[in-house]
């Protein structure tokens, strides 16, 4: 029997990782410091969720939830830095690309940190469903 929350979380993590690699490697967007932190949290999820799906490990939520919740916090903060001008002075990016920069701005609100926020939130919800299903 296919574990839908686990499979869904794994697919979203793969899409998020592939998207970040596309933006940096194909489009030439240089990741800022907060982007790197989000990548550090997302990339292992692809491996962990893939192994957990293969093994049908329903206890993986214990390890995934901390990473995905921290990812929500970082990507939410990053998105706020981009969209709230008064927060620019609190930016943690001091070298290289500014964290307040927006390589994409689809529909006036969809930026790369927003996409990461949505992915981390979706993975978190799937892990909560997995926990309750158990």
Per-residue pLDDT tens for 99-128? Answer: 888 999 999 999 999 999 999 999 999 999
The percent of the chain in helix, strand and coil, each rounded to the nearest 5, is 70, 0, 25
Is 0.75 topped by the overall pTM? yes
Give first-to-last CA distance, the chain, whole Å.
14
pLDDT reading at 6 higher than 90: yes
pLDDT, residue 85, reads 86
Domain at 4-133: CATH code: 1.20.1550
Beta bridge partners of 110: 106
pLDDT, residue 134, reads 65
């Amino acid at each position: 029997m296919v574990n839908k929350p686990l499979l869904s979380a794994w697919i979203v993590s793969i899409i998020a990782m592939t998207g970040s690699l596309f933006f940096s490697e194909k489009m030439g967007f240089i990741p800022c410091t907060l982007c790197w932190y989000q990548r550090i949290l997302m990339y292992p999820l692809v491996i962990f969720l893939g192994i957990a799906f293969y093994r049908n490990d329903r206890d993986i939520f214990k390890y995934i939830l901390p990473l995905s919740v921290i990812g929500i916090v970082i990507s939410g903060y990053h998105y706020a830095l981009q969209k709230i001008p008064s927060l620019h002075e609190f930016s943690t990016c001091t070298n290289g690309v500014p964290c307040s920069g927006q390589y994409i701005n689809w529909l006036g609100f969809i930026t790369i940190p927003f996409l990461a926020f949505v992915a981390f939130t979706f993975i978190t919800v799937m892990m909560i469903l997995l926990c309750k299903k158990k």
